Amino acid sequence: MKRLWKGGVLFLILLLGGCNAWDKAYEQAGSASFTVASITGPAALGFVKAMEPSIDPQVRLGDTVQYSFEEDEEAIYAQLLEGKADMAVVPTEIAAKLYHEGAGYQLAAVNTGGYLYLLSADESISAVSDLRGKTVTIVGEKSAADVVTRELLMQAGIDPDNDLTLTYAASAETVMENVKNTDLIVLAEPWVTDLLDENSDFSIALDIQEEWTRINEDEMPLPLNCLIVTQLSHLKNLFNPLIYQC
């Protein structure tokens, strides 16, 4: 187990940016092996550097880390509920569910936020109050996007359950495949860019992050995805000495 978490230390250094403690990190990591899981999309972008085969120095991460990427939130939730990953990047609502289920994961960091937008093919939409009587598609019922959208609606005096229709898609890919069936979509990057590139009828009507900041008078980004790990106390004991060398 100790060697496993030494491998985890090295991965976190790569994921969070790296420093001049590379050599020591490499020595401590050894040949440990562990599993990392992530939801696809912006949350997974942090793995790009860690998975780069030409990274210097050569740390052989391809030999020591097993990566698992899931498009479906329910699929990664089921995987983590069974304890099949040592570290994972997931939507914050998934992390909360795992915590309440006693799955053994702890929050290590919030790594992505503030990339939600309301896309519209209806040029009359320029404020949250304009959504009264409309139909809005959201990815994932009870997701962070759903919770935030509902809060924005209520702050604008709109009852989410009675004053408009909220429909839910299983994934962003599902939204992309059925985009012609809706005029209003709450969506995250990078799918926002993809949808706008492929559908000239749509444009960004609202920046959800800006709306959230406005009603909360807070510049804190929306905590949409986070890094969770098992046995965080072991991780801290190994990781902190390396942080201080950075």
State the angle between helix axes of 144-155 and 92-100 in degrees (0 to 180), rounded to the nearest 10. 110
Nearest alpha carbon to residue 230 among 92, 62, 109, 108: 108
Contact 190, 42 (CB under 8 A): yes
Contact 184, 118 (CB under 8 A): yes
**What single letter denotes the amino acid at residue 188?**
A
User: For every one of its 246 residues, what pLDDT tens digit does the chain have, with 9 covering 90 and above?
Assistant: 444 444 454 455 445 444 444 455 555 555 556 788 888 776 777 666 666 655 444 444 445 667 788 877 888 889 999 988 888 888 888 888 898 888 889 888 887 666 889 999 988 999 999 999 999 999 888 888 898 999 999 999 999 999 999 999 988 888 888 888 889 999 988 889 999 999 999 999 999 988 988 887 766 677 778 888 886 544 554 444 433 333
Instruction: Please state, as a whole number, how many other Cβ atoms lie within 10 Å of the Cβ of residue 163.
Output: 15
Q: 132: which residues sit within 8 A by CB, 6+ positions away?
A: 158, 163, 164
Task: Order the strands of the 87-91 sheet from edge to edge.
Answer: 65-70, 34-39, 87-91, 225-230, 105-112
Nearest alpha carbon to residue 83 among 47, 34, 42: 34
Q: What is the pLDDT of residue 151?
A: 92
Taking the CA of residue 104 as centre, how many other CA atoms within 13 Å lie in the half-sphere pointing to its CB? 11
β-pair type (225-230, 87-91): antiparallel
Q: Is 101 left (phi over 0), alpha (psi -120 to 50) or beta?
A: alpha
Backbone angles phi, psi at 189, to 5 degrees: -70, 150
pTM of the model: 0.66
- What tokens were used for 168? 């839910």
- What tokens were used for 75? 């699929």
Contact 229, 89 (CB under 8 A): no
